[in-house]
Amino acid sequence: MLDHVLAPHFLWMLWDGFLVTLAISFLTIIFATLLGFLIAIAQKSDIKVIQQLINSYTAIFRYSPLLPQLFFWYFGIGNLLPLEFKLWLFDEPQIELGIITIKMPSFEFIIGLVALTLYSSAFIAEEFRAGISGVRRDQEQASLALGFTWWQTMRYIVLPQGCRIAFPPLIGQYMNVIKNSSLTMAIGVLELSYVSRQVETESLKTFQDFAIATFLYIVAVAIVGTAGNIYQTNFLNRERII
Amino acid sequence: MELKGFEVIWNNLDYLMWGNLPGGIALTLIMSLSAIIFATLLGILLGVGLTLAKGGIRQILVVFLGFLRAIPIIMLIFWTFFLLPILFNIDVPAIATVIFALSLVGAAYIGYSVHAGMVAISQGQWQAAFSLGLGKKQVIFYIILPQAVKMMMPSIVNQWIPLIKDSSLAYIVGVAELTFVATQINNRSMIYPTEIFIFVILVYFVICWFVNFVVAQFLKDRSY
């Protein structure tokens, strides 16, 4: 019976991979939300050039797969970075943040984060845009008529309502970020999929290994989904009644 | 200097197009098309299943579809890569396992679209069809499903484009589609990665955009 169980050090490897998946997904979600939000606001601009730039940005990132994009950043842009920077990263420098010191993430991790963030921000911007355009025009006009400036109208009237509409699809995008983070294995980020492949070749217990990795992914996605649901029922919907 | 990079692409254009038969862009198109066809057919069946099934069977179906939607496609490709040969006791080629995995994922999403469409068809349609003496199968396949699929077509097409994009994941298991062929060329030339991958991204972009455009035109033409 014991033959079928994965040895503890394989379990620890998978756990470490899971933590890397969580870290890269979490950072991507934060950066991509900020960037996506800015893009969505910029899209409301009246200047034609900005609109067209942003439309082509979202189109090119949404209509091409993540994998070649990762290779583009890793092989293409990665090559253009100064060698000193890469050598410095290679030494695994520590960053001191007050009392705790954390290890500087690897070159692969940073590139993976950049690629994932840009890719996800296009989708997130699209959800924000849809949310904002879901706010009725009367709201904007009424607020302008009441003497709010355009910025105040956006800040106090349009955006709060738009974000509320955009919230459920945003949660879906956050789940996609977790799933997409698995692609960073292709450029050598030591996340869950990469590690599960490694454990498979070392332990030869494919079934148990994949089952654990799959379970961890489902847990991560389920946490995001439940957190989103709780937030929506307890905070967003209650506000609407008041 | 800029032009040299495009010279690499130009010199290898044949290889990027066809690979070692089959491969490259051609294989990407073949895989995407098969995944789209299988996913749509299976998705329609799943949609019917979700609408008709009750109790335990429905629970199992919902959990299975939830599972497919929750895990990364790479994990699913790993699973099919590992399980299909065991299940069928034959050596399944990597291309087939990827198409299988993509079809399952696509079907899971399309299934929910079709289900939503079938639920949205008014009760009157069901009642009228039944009162005309049609059997359950006939009602579903002649009356409800055609309307549901027609109504949900935009949503179904939205699931096709991820399938084209996700065919690039076949790279992971070593299928010589566009992304794989491009990395091969990149490894051989080593000097112009930026140009090569911009080219790859543009090719995917054109394919996806084209599919989107054609279907949008098609849907507009037969507006109802």
CB A101, CB A95: distance < 8 Å: yes
Within a domain: A95: yes
B23 CB-near residues (< 8 Å, 6+ apart): B15, B176, B177, B180, B181
Query: Where do the domains of chain B lie, and which CATH numbers do they carry?
Result: 2-221 (1.10.3720.10)
Determine the pLDDT at residue A136: 87
Nearest residue in A to B66, CA atom: A218
- Residue A163, pLDDT > 70, answer yes
Q: Which one, of B148, B130, B139, lies nearest residue B47 by Cα?
A: B148
ipTM of the complex: 0.88
Give all strands (DSSP E) within B15-151, no chain letters: none
Within a domain: A226: no
Are B205 and A63 in contact (CB < 8 Å)?
yes
A103 phi/psi in degrees, rounded to 5: -75, 135
For A171-216, write each residue's pLDDT tens digit.
999 999 999 999 999 998 999 999 999 998 888 888 889 999 999 9
- Cα separation, B28 vs B175, in Å, equals 10
Within a domain: A187: yes
Within a domain: A214: no
Within a domain: A188: yes
- Residue A25, pLDDT > 90, answer yes
For A40-85, write each residue's pLDDT tens digit.
988 887 888 999 999 999 999 999 999 999 999 998 887 777 777 7
CB A185, CB A191: distance < 8 Å: yes
Within a domain: A228: no
Q: DSSP assignment, residue A100?
A: E
- Rounded mean pLDDT of A119-123? 95
Global pTM reads 0.89
User: Is the CB of B158 inside 8 Å of chain A's CB atoms?
Assistant: no
Domain housing A121: 23-192
Cβ contacts (< 8 Å) between B183 and chain A: which residues? 71
For residue A45, count other CB atoms closer than 10 A to its CB. 12
Question: What is the domain count for chain A?
Answer: 1
Determine the pLDDT at residue B15: 81
User: Is the CB of A22 inside 8 Å of chain B's CB atoms?
Assistant: no
Residue of A60, A67, A79, A217 for testing the chain B interface, max B β-carbons within 10 Å: A67
